[in-house]
Amino acid sequence: MVSKKAMIVLKHEFIQEVRSKSYIIFTLLGPVLLSLLFVIPAVISTVDPGEQRVLSIVDSTGKFTSYFENARASEPATSIEEEFTEAASSSKQEQAAMKALDADVTIKVVPVSTSIESLRDQVYAEALTGFLVIPANALADSGGRRATLRLRNTNDFSVIREVESIYAEALRNEKLKAKGVDPRILHDIDELADLETVKLSQGQESKDSGGTFIAGYLTGFLMYMGLLIYGAMILRSVAQEKSSRVIEVMVSSVRPYDLLLGKVLGISAAAVLQMTVWAVMMALLATVGVSMAENLSGSSLNINIPPSLFAYFVIYYILGFLIYATLYAAVGATADQESDAQQAAMPITFLVIIPILLMMGVIQSPSSTMSVVLSMIPFFSPILMMGRVFSETPPFWQIALSMALMIATFFGVLWVAARIYRTGILMYGKKFSPKEIIKWIRYS
The secondary structure of 306-324 as a DSSP string is: -HHHHHHHHHHHHHHHHHH
**Which of the 8 DSSP states describes residue 110?**
-
What is the helix (H) or strand (E) element at residue 199, kind and residue range?
Answer: strand 198-201
Res 133: pLDDT:
87
Kindly tell me if the per-residue pLDDT of 335 is higher than 90. Answer: no
pLDDT, mean over the chain: 75
Q: What is the mean pLDDT of residues 121-136?
A: 86
Q: What is the mean pLDDT of residues 301-323?
A: 77
Kindly tell me if the per-residue pLDDT of 103 is higher than 90. Answer: no
Per-residue model confidence as pLDDT tens digits over 167-203: 888 888 888 887 777 777 776 666 666 666 666 655 5
Res 93: pLDDT:
41
Q: What is the mean pLDDT of residues 308-331?
A: 85
Kindly tell me if the per-residue pLDDT of 331 is higher than 70. Answer: yes
Q: What is the mean pLDDT of residues 284-296?
A: 60
Res 29: pLDDT:
81
Beta carbons of 375 and 405 less than 8 angstroms apart: no
Q: What is the mean pLDDT of residues 284-291?
A: 63
Interatomic CA distance for residues 391 and 320, integer angstroms: 20
Interatomic CA distance for residues 333 and 440, integer angstroms: 12
Range with the lowest mean pLDDT among 46-55, 342-351, 359-368?
Answer: 46-55
Beta carbons of 30 and 278 less than 8 angstroms apart: yes
Q: What structural domains does the chain harbor?
A: 4-40+208-443 (no CATH), 53-191 (3.40.190.10)
- Of the pLDDT bands very low, low, confident and very high (cuts 50, 70, 90), residue 404 is very high
Res 406: pLDDT:
94
Kindly tell me if the per-residue pLDDT of 243 is higher than 50. Answer: yes
From the list 284, 315, 271, the residue with the least C-alpha distance to 27 is 271
DSSP 33-56: HHHHHHHHHHHHHHS-----EEEE
Q: Which amino acid is at 266?
A: G
Interatomic CA distance for residues 391 and 323, integer angstroms: 25
Res 144: pLDDT:
54
Range with the lowest mean pLDDT among 37-41, 78-82, 152-156?
Answer: 78-82
Q: Which amino acid is at 22?
A: S
SS3 5: helix
Please tell me which residue, 113 or 84, carries the higher pLDDT value: 113
Q: What is the mean pLDDT of residues 307-334?
A: 84
Kindly tell me if the per-residue pLDDT of 405 is higher than 90. Answer: yes
Per-residue model confidence as pLDDT tens digits over 407-435: 999 999 888 888 887 777 766 666 666 77
From the list 287, 286, 273, the residue with the least C-alpha distance to 217 is 286
Res 258: pLDDT:
80
Q: What is the mean pLDDT of residues 46-61?
A: 74
Kindly tell me if the per-residue pLDDT of 298 is higher than 80. Answer: no
Q: What is the mean pLDDT of residues 289-300?
A: 56
- Maximum mean pLDDT: which of 51-60, 289-298, 369-378: 369-378
- Of the pLDDT bands very low, low, confident and very high (cuts 50, 70, 90), residue 77 is very low
Kindly tell me if the per-residue pLDDT of 395 is higher than 70. Answer: yes
